[in-house]
Amino acid sequence: MSDVHPTAAPNAAPAWAIKVRAVLNGAVFDFPGGPKVLKAAWVINFQKAGSFPVYLLMLWRYQNATDAAWIYAAMHGGYGLVWLLKANAFPDPSWEPRVTLGGAINMFAGVLAWYWVIGWLLISANTTPAYPLPINAWFCLCVSLCLLGCAIMIAADAQKFFTLRLKPGLITDGIFRYVRHPNYLGEIMIYGSFALMVWHWLAFAILACVWLVLFASNMAMKEASLSRHAGWADYRKRSWWLFPGVF
């Protein structure tokens, strides 16, 4: 890790990212005004905790006993439990601020509930999609991608949480050695595995909206914030934004 003291003025965030952040903050933290009664983390954790029950209810409602449906419920529901474990062991400070009731509804209905739609596309159909590979090979690919994504997300968030408690500053080693946003990489791998399991165009469209609007703006704002730390220029040159060797 580099010295905590900055050596230069931070880079300005892209104008588009600033605008997106302003709109999202207004819709989540302040809409429509009034008291802020719920932590943003509580809203997120509610959705994560609900994934397993929601999918089990869907399986019962649609009488779907396909292997793909049950494996999907285990993947997405299991990820929800992993998230809850992470949220209790090393919570993300960015989700600790409180939001208005209207903001919580926007947060849930505008983003979080759409994740359940992805599973619904598979479970409600009561059929197994026509995957481009043999079915067992496809299941192996999806489960492996989900597990690896969970490991990367947990490792990144744990390293960031415990490292910054001891020495605030730029983290350039461990899981952050080659990728500047490994937590987002892990999330993309996890939800990408869900979309591959469902194999429906709407699943990919939902994720594209979340990734291109929410994830991209958050990463752009984080890049601008990190640029105030000593060693940023060198770290940026030898690391990748998200995918090692690609981007």
CB contact burial 157-179 (16+ within 10 A = b; e otherwise): bbbbeebeeeeebbbbeebbeeb
Q: Percentage of the chain with pLDDT > 70? A: 96
- Per residue in 159-174, pLDDT (tens digit) is 999 999 998 889 999 9
Structure tokens, 131: 């995957």
Structure tokens, 119: 């599973």
pLDDT, average across residues 193-198: 98
The answer on pLDDT for 39 being more than 90 is yes
CA nearest to 86, candidates 159, 145, 22, 9: 159
The answer on pLDDT for 5 being more than 60 is no
> What is residue 10's predicted lDDT score, i.e. its pLDDT?
65
Say how many Å lie between the first and final Cα of the chain, rounded: 23
pLDDT, average across residues 225-239: 92
The answer on pLDDT for 7 being more than 60 is no
> What is residue 2's predicted lDDT score, i.e. its pLDDT?
39
Residues 156/189, Cβ–Cβ less than 8 Å:
no
d(CA 187, CA 151): 10
